[in-house]
Amino acid sequence: MKKLSPLVLLSFLLGSCNFKSEKFITANKYTGDAKLKNVYVIVADDKDTKEWLNRYKNAFIDSLKTYHVNVEGMSYCYSDKKAAMKDVMKAWLTSSPQFENVLTIAITKINAGNRSSITREMQINLYNLSKGKKIWNGTVAITFDWYISGAQLKDVAQKLTNTTLDKMKGKDIL
């Protein structure tokens, strides 16, 4: 049997890497009084998720604007700053523009699965600042190959955005 050259093997492996699926595994009832009119989005990431979560944040914000939601957002890298989300929220609240709601997005669990794929669970929480409470939350499971190319990140971000928006529409948030 002929040996495969490292270059051929690498191109085969990289060529077969792709995004596999995204789905909500939990989504609670929305307890807000009205459809979302304005929101500040905070995405917590780390060095391994920074690039694709930043693309997701940007796609999500752009899509919310099509629903006439006043929206701004920021990324917060845990590995750069080493702080808990509650500390990020406190710091943001002291200098916040006047938004009624804050939506936080963070990876909460990583399942290594089999050797070819990884699943990350992402927690989404929507807070109403005037009520001082969480008014909706959900968990999304995202499965993709261990390696995903930069070209595929845009596709992942858009599919994840569509899944999130569909769930928010189904819960009468949008």
**pLDDT tens digit sequence for 138-154:** 999 888 765 666 777 78
Q: Which structural domain range is residue 40 located in?
A: 16-170
Q: What is the DSSP string of 109-146?
A: EEE--STTEEEEEEEEEEEETTTTEEEEEEEEEEEEES
Cβ atoms within 10 A of the Cβ of 143, count?
A: 15
**pLDDT tens digit sequence for 4-18:** 444 333 333 334 445
Q: According to the model, what pLDDT value does residue 125 have?
A: 94
| C-alpha–C-alpha distance, residues 59 and 149, integer Å | 18
Q: How many domains, in total, are found in the chain?
A: 1
**Within a domain: 2:** no
Q: According to the model, what pLDDT value does residue 23 have?
A: 81
Q: According to the model, what pLDDT value does residue 146 have?
A: 58
| C-alpha–C-alpha distance, residues 133 and 137, integer Å | 11
**Within a domain: 96:** yes
Which CATH number is 30's domain given?
Answer: 3.40.50
Q: According to the model, what pLDDT value does residue 13 have?
A: 38
Kindly report the pTM of this predicted structure. Answer: 0.79
End-to-end CA distance of the chain: 59
**Within a domain: 149:** yes
Kindly report the average pLDDT of the chain as a whole number: 79
**Within a domain: 132:** yes
- Answer with the residue of higher pLDDT: 90 or 42: 42
| C-alpha–C-alpha distance, residues 81 and 79, integer Å | 6
**Within a domain: 145:** yes
Q: Amino acid identity of 91?
A: A
**Within a domain: 35:** yes
**pLDDT tens digit sequence for 80-101:** 656 666 776 676 666 666 788 9
Q: What is the DSSP string of 44-93?
A: EE-TTTHHHHHHHHHHHHHHHHHTT-EEEEEEEEHHHH---HHHHHHHHH
**Within a domain: 3:** no
